[in-house]
Amino acid sequence: MRDEHHGRTAPPEPRSRSGAFGHRFPRTGTEPATARSALRLRQLLSAVFLPLFAAATAGFAVWAAHSGPGAGPGSGPLTALAVVCGVLTLAAALDLAVVTARRRRERGVDAAGPGPHR
């Protein structure tokens, strides 16, 4: 691959970082070849917000179930908030699972057990 700005050939991207199915989107040439997300930060944020969103889902669902006619915001908006928080709970759980799997794979830990500690 040629670098348009400097006329140099860019080094090939390591296979370990290209994903299981290759690139989803073609590179434009402006992003770093080794760009990666902050997995530790994503794991921390998912671990913090997963229980918060789960508690909010349960709280809004219970509040919606116990709200009577003419009381507070009503069961419709509370149910909508419970659904939104439920979707965010699922997103946080999925992200936590993906990040945990990626960190294990990068450390060389397979399904059989822990590998060498680095």
Q: What pLDDT score was predicted for residue 108? A: 79
Q: How confident is the model at residue 23 (pLDDT cuts 50, 70, 90)?
A: low
For 50-104, the pLDDT digits (tens) are: 999 999 999 999 999 998 888 788 899 999 999 999 999 999 999 999 999 999 9
Interatomic CA distance for residues 78 and 82, integer angstroms: 6
Q: Which of 41, 36, 34, 28 lies closest to 11 in space, CA to CA?
A: 34
Look at 113 and 88; give whichever has higher pLDDT: 88
Interatomic CA distance for residues 57 and 86, integer angstroms: 5
pTM higher than 0.85? no
